[in-house]
Amino acid sequence: MKKAIITGATGMLGLTLAFEALRKGDEVYAVIRPDSVRKGRLTENEHLHIVPCDLAEMKNLPNLIPRGKGVFYHMGWANTGRFRNRTEEGQNINVAFEEDAVRAAAAIGCTKFIGAGSQAEYGPKEDMKIGPLTPAEPVEFYGMAKLKAMEKGKKLSEELGMPFIWMRIFSTYGPYDKSTSMIAESLGKLLRGEPTAFTPATQIWDYLYSEDAARAFYLAGEKGRSGAVYCVGSGCGRPLREFIEIMCKTVDPKAVPGIGKKPFPPGKVRNLTADITSLTADTGFVPQVSFEEGIAKTAAFMKNAGL
């Protein structure tokens, strides 16, 4: 059996990736915080092994996971959420965690390291599509730390002789999403019958369902090219207002979207569409879940969970 080691395994993408790896028949080692309140999301499975280990203790992983070949997916990241850009120090601790994770993966005997990057590494862009070769010019602490983690993680992996791949995530959504994301927060209000308010939402955006994003990561672990940077998105941009209208139509066709009730925040209006050409060419990844289908699934999950 193949082995998949996943940090941040209770977050939306880490959890969905764990399910994908189990579905493929892998032995999965889910690395989670020892005091995680989300541990219950990881359903029992004979091939699922929960490994309590804080990000600050990544150096201990070789003592907690059997040595042998496998793919190490580093999805964990400290200080996320709405206030992630509050301090530079709060983000930069993740750079050291990335290096610790790389060393641990090599010590365990992993044959590939997959890091989770972000579109925030690019900074504001007006390009029709943003790809691996688009200059990375982050303007926020979160994006700066992600870029630094990629650079240091890649260099260290090369020194240790372990293939390294960096996945820049654009906008994902789905079950177990953060309650503060635009999709989750808006769906919650619509399900509760509360009013919503948005900017004019004219910018071009790119949303990818969590199961598709997890599959992209898994395929990169199987077929990805060493040293590659891949953009993780649908590859098909649409005006943000169209996504909002689909949400309203799915949950409550009578709801008034509230588009234009809020001004754009200060700064440039971002267009955000991923260029997934290299990801598709190298791994065969093609999104399978439409936004309409993904939103219906996400809304049903939230309704059943009482969110």
Q: What's 208-259 look like in SS3?
A: EEHHHHHHHHHHHHHHCCCCCEEEECCCCCEEHHHHHHHHHHHHCCCCCCCE
Q: What is the pLDDT along the chain (307 residues), one digit of tens a residue?
A: 799 999 999 999 999 999 999 999 999 999 999 999 999 999 889 999 999 999 999 999 999 999 999 999 999 999 987 778 888 899 999 999 999 999 999 999 999 999 999 999 999 888 889 999 999 999 999 999 999 999 999 999 999 999 999 999 999 999 999 999 999 999 999 999 999 999 999 999 999 999 999 999 999 999 999 999 999 999 999 999 999 999 999 999 999 899 999 998 877 657 899 999 999 999 999 999 999 999 999 999 999 998 7
CA distance 228 to 279: 9
Query: Is there a single domain that holds both residue 182 and residue 33?
Result: no
Is residue 280 a part of any domain in this protein?
A: no
The angle, 0 to 180 degrees and rounded to 10, between the axes of the packed helices 141-160 and 88-108 is: 20
| Three-state DSSP state, 106 | helix
**Beta pairing, strands 27-32 & 48-52:** parallel
Is residue 163 a part of any domain in this protein?
A: yes
Q: What is the pLDDT of residue 107?
A: 98
Is residue 284 a part of any domain in this protein?
A: no
CA distance 16 to 9: 8
Query: Is there a single domain that holds both residue 77 and residue 185?
Result: no
Is residue 247 a part of any domain in this protein?
A: yes
Helix boundaries (H) for the chain:
12-23, 88-108, 141-160, 182-192, 210-223, 240-251, 277-283, 291-305
Query: Is there a single domain that holds both residue 150 and residue 295?
Result: no
Query: Is there a single domain that holds both residue 118 and residue 186?
Result: no
Query: Is there a single domain that holds both residue 195 and residue 222?
Result: no
Q: Which pairs with CB-CB distance under 8 Å and at least 24 residues apart come from 96-99? A: 97/55, 97/56, 97/58, 98/74, 98/149, 98/152, 98/153, 99/152, 99/153, 99/156
Is residue 129 a part of any domain in this protein?
A: yes
Query: Is there a single domain that holds both residue 11 and residue 131?
Result: yes
Q: What is the pLDDT of residue 191?
A: 95
Query: Is there a single domain that holds both residue 252 and residue 214?
Result: no
Is residue 246 a part of any domain in this protein?
A: yes
Query: Is there a single domain that holds both residue 105 and residue 241?
Result: no
Q: What is the pLDDT of residue 83?
A: 76
pTM to 2 decimal places? 0.96
Check which CATH number belongs to the domain holding 104 and give it.
3.40.50.720
Query: Is there a single domain that holds both residue 27 and residue 66?
Result: yes
Q: Domain residues for 200? A: 176-205+237-274+289-305
Query: Is there a single domain that holds both residue 200 and residue 212?
Result: no
Is residue 215 a part of any domain in this protein?
A: yes
Q: What is the pLDDT of residue 198?
A: 95
Q: What is the pLDDT of residue 268?
A: 62
Q: What is the pLDDT of residue 127?
A: 86
Number of domains in the chain: 2
Check which CATH number belongs to the domain holding 247 and give it.
3.90.25
Closest CA to 232 of 211, 202, 258: 211
Taking the CA atoms of 195, 13, 230 and 92 in sequence, report the sign of the dihedral they define: positive
Q: What is the pLDDT of residue 306?
A: 84
Is residue 282 a part of any domain in this protein?
A: no
Query: Is there a single domain that holds both residue 33 and residue 87?
Result: yes
Query: Is there a single domain that holds both residue 220 and residue 246?
Result: no
